[in-house]
Amino acid sequence: MIRVLFVCLGNICRSPMAEAIFRDLIIKENLVDKISVDSGGTGDWHIGKGPHKGTSQVLELKGISFEGIIARQVNEKDWDDFDYIIAMDEQNVADLHSIRKAQDDQVVIARLMDFVEQPKEENVPDPYYTGNFDYTYQLVSEGCTQLLNYIKEKHSLT
């Protein structure tokens, strides 16, 4: 099983959106027994909450389920439990490195936009502050599609 964890700051806007979109792709491509997905936040303010209204509205509009997606905080054990830890921005990456100090891990830590060729943004802007959840959806959706292509090729899942 290839295990993917999406990470943002609050785990209520960007990373739960990524989790829902990626889960939807995995289901559509019949890969549920090969790839699993979760999300977490580097911060602890929203633990136990469902996605932000802006995220749930855009997902509903696109017909993508976010059932069962509840905010949690990233912890060191995640480095044992996941193969890919995919952050939304460079601050998330810096925060991940301060949560887990060991350098000898096999875990891939990258930003979602790193998987997109000629991305519009290198970091997914935080819609908690910008209010632009449609733009977040565009970026995250493209990122998830390209990340899945990368994983399928890398692990010969096609």
Which residues contact ligand 4NP by CB under 6 A? 8-14, 45, 126, 128
Q: Which of helix, strand or coil describes residue 138?
A: helix
Q: For this structure, is 8 an active site residue?
A: yes
What are residue 5's phi and psi, to 5 degrees?
Answer: -120, 120
Distance of closest approach, residue 140 Cβ to ligand 4NP, in angstroms: 10
Tell me the C-alpha distance between 16 and 121, whole Å. 19
Choosing from 24, 38, 95, 126, the catalytic residue is: 126
Kindly state the tokens that stand for 91: 């601050």
* Least spacing, CB of residue 142 vs ligand 4NP, in Å: 17
13 is catalytic: no
Residue 26 or 88: which CB sits closer to ligand 4NP?
88
Contact 38, 45 (CB under 8 A): no
Shortest Cβ contact with ligand 4NP: which residue? 10
Given the complex with ligand 4NP, which of 9 and 144 has the nearer CB atom?
Answer: 9
Backbone angles phi, psi at 114, to 5 degrees: -65, -20
Cβ-based nearer residue to ligand 4NP, 25 or 140:
140
- Minimum CB–partner distance for residue 40 and ligand 4NP (Å): 10
Measured N-to-C along each axis, helices 14-28 and 53-62 cross at an angle, to the nearest 10 degrees, of 20
Residues taking part in catalysis: 8, 14, 126
